[in-house]
Structure 1
Amino acid sequence: MKYIFHKGKDASKPTLLLLHGTGGNETSLLALAEEIDKDASMLSVRGNVLENGMPRFFRRLREGVFDEEDLIFRTKELYEFLDEAAKEHGFDRDNVIAIGYSNGANIAASLLFHYEDALKGAILHHPMVPRRGIKLPNLTHTRVFIGAGENDPMCTAEESKELYDLLEKAGANVHISWSQQGHQLTLQEVREAAKWYEES
C-alpha cells in the first residue's frame, strides 16, 4: 500500500491512521490531522482501488451500495498492513486512532465491525454503515466520534443514527456531532473532533 509515515514528537501519543475520501490520496488529510494532534505520529494511506481513476479503499456496485466481498477483503488487507507498519516504524499497534472521511470513514468503520483489536478509537467523518446482519466484536474499550450531516445526501441522518446504535450496542463509547453542511467536511466539524480527541 502507498502511504506516508510521519514520526511524532511524543511516542506516548496515539498514531493517527489517516484514510481519505474517494478521489483523495495519502496527502489529503495531513492538514486535518495537524488540527487534531500535531505531536502525534501519522500514518496516511492511499486506497488500493481505483474508480474512474479515483483512489478508494474498496469497490462499490453503485453509489451507496458496497461490494461486500471486496470490502471484507480490503478490510483484512488494511488490518494486516497496520500490523506490518507497526513493526517497520516502531509505533504501538495497540494505540492507533483512525481518522477517516467518507470512503475512508467507511473502511475505518469496517475495521471496527470486523476486528476487536484493530483500533483504539476512530474519528469518522460522514460514514455509512459498512455491513448489516453481522455480530460486531466487543468494542468496550473503543471510543468513536461520528461527524454527521443532518442534510447529508450521501449518508442520511438515519444511517448515521443506525451506525451510532450498532457501535454503542457493541460496547463502544460513541459521540455523534451534527452539522448542516451536507456531506462537506468543515473546519467546525474538525474542531469538534479535536475537542473530543483531547477529552478522550
Structure 2
Amino acid sequence: MIHYYRKGTAPRTFVLFHGTGGTEEDLVSIGTMLDPEAHILSLRGEVNENGMNRFFKRVAEGVFDEEDLKMRAERILKEIEELLARYELKDTALHSAGYSNGANMIAGMLYLHGDVFQKSILFHPMVPLKSGPALSLNSAEVFIGAGINDPIVPYENTTQLMQELSRQGAFVTMKTYEMGHRLTLEEVEDAKAWYSAP
C-alpha cells in the first residue's frame, strides 16, 4: 500500500485516511496539528473510482459495497500491522483520523474489529455497515465532526453512527458545524482540544 511516514518523538502513532480523490499527503498537515510529536502514518486508498482514490468501493453516492468494505478493512489492518513492525512502532499508542471516505473506513474497522484504535477522529462520517458494530468498543474514544447541512452525509445518519458506537461502549463526542461537507479549521481545532484533553 502506498503510504507516507514521518518519524515522531512521542510513543504515539497517528494513522491517517484521506477522503475520496485524496492522497496519502492530504491529511499530513492536519495530523501534525492534532499531535505534532506523534509518528505519522498516512495511507492511500487502493480503490480507483473514475480516477479518484478511495478506501473501498461504493454502489452509488452514499451506498457502500459492504462486502468490499469488509475485505479491505481486514487488508488495511494487516497492512498497518506490517508498517508498525517495519518502522518499529508496535509499542506506540495507535490513533486514527480520517475525512469522509477515510472516516467511513475507520468507522468500518471499528464496527468489524473492535477498538483497534485508542482514539479516532472522524470528520464527516456516516454509518459504514447496516448490521451495526459487532464487537465491544469499551476502550475506544471517538470524536465525530458532522455538518448540520452536509449535502453528502445526512445529519441523521451521523447521529445514528454516534449512537451505534456509544451502544457498543465507545466514549463518543460529536460536534456539529454549518459548513456542509467542508473540513474547517474550527473543526480541526475542536478535534485537537478533544484529543489533547487529559
- TM band (smaller chain): over 0.9
Identity %: 41
Alignment correspondent of 1:183? 181
Q: For 2:79 and 2:114, how far apart are their aligned partners in 1?
A: 16
SS in 2 for 1:80: helix
The letter of the residue matching 1:29 is L
Answering whether residue 26 of structure 2 is matched by residue 7 of structure 1, we say no
What does residue range 90-169 of structure 1 map to in structure 2 within 5 Å?
90-92=88-90, 95-169=93-167
The gaps in structure 1 that reach 5 residues or longer are: none
Instruction: Report Cα offsets for 1:167-196 as digits up to 9, x if no partner.
Output: 000000000011000000000000000000
Which deviates further from its counterpart, 132-141 or 149-158? 132-141
The letter of the residue matching 2:79 is F
The normalised TM-score by structure 1 is: 0.96
The letter of the residue matching 1:3 is H
Alignment correspondent of 2:41? 43
Instruction: Report Cα offsets for 1:109-128 as digits up to 9, x if no partner.
Output: 01100112421120000001
Q: For 1:175 and 1:90, how far apart are their aligned partners in 2?
A: 31
The letter of the residue matching 1:35 is M
Q: For 1:134 and 1:160, how far apart are their aligned partners in 2?
A: 13
The letter of the residue matching 2:144 is I
Q: For 1:176 and 1:145, how far apart are their aligned partners in 2?
A: 6
Residues 6/70 of structure 1: CA separation in 2 closer, same or farther (3 Å cut) = same
The count of corresponding residues between Structure 1 and Structure 2 is 198
The gaps in structure 2 that reach 5 residues or longer are: none
Q: For 1:195 and 1:48, how far apart are their aligned partners in 2?
A: 32
Aligned CA-pair RMSD: 1.1
Which runs of 4 or more aligned residues in structure 1 lie more than 6 Å from their structure 2 counterparts after TM superposition? none
2:119–2:195 contact (8 Å) kept in structure 1? no
Instruction: Report Cα offsets for 1:150-174 as digits up to 9, x if no partner.
Output: 1011111101110000000000000
Answering whether residue 66 of structure 2 is matched by residue 68 of structure 1, we say yes
Q: For 1:103 and 1:5, how far apart are their aligned partners in 2?
A: 21
Alignment correspondent of 1:56? 54
The normalised TM-score by structure 2 is: 0.97
Q: For 2:183 and 2:91, how far apart are their aligned partners in 1?
A: 28
2:96–2:119 contact (8 Å) kept in structure 1? yes
Instruction: Report Cα offsets for 1:112-146 as digits up to 9, x if no partner.
Output: 00112421120000001000124421101100000
Instruction: Report Cα offsets for 1:67-112 as digits up to 9, x if no partner.
Output: 1111111111111111111111111366211100000000000110
Instruction: Report Cα offsets for 1:32-84 as digits up to 9, x if no partner.
Output: 11110111000000000000001000000110000111111111111111111
Q: For 1:93 and 1:63, how far apart are their aligned partners in 2?
A: 39
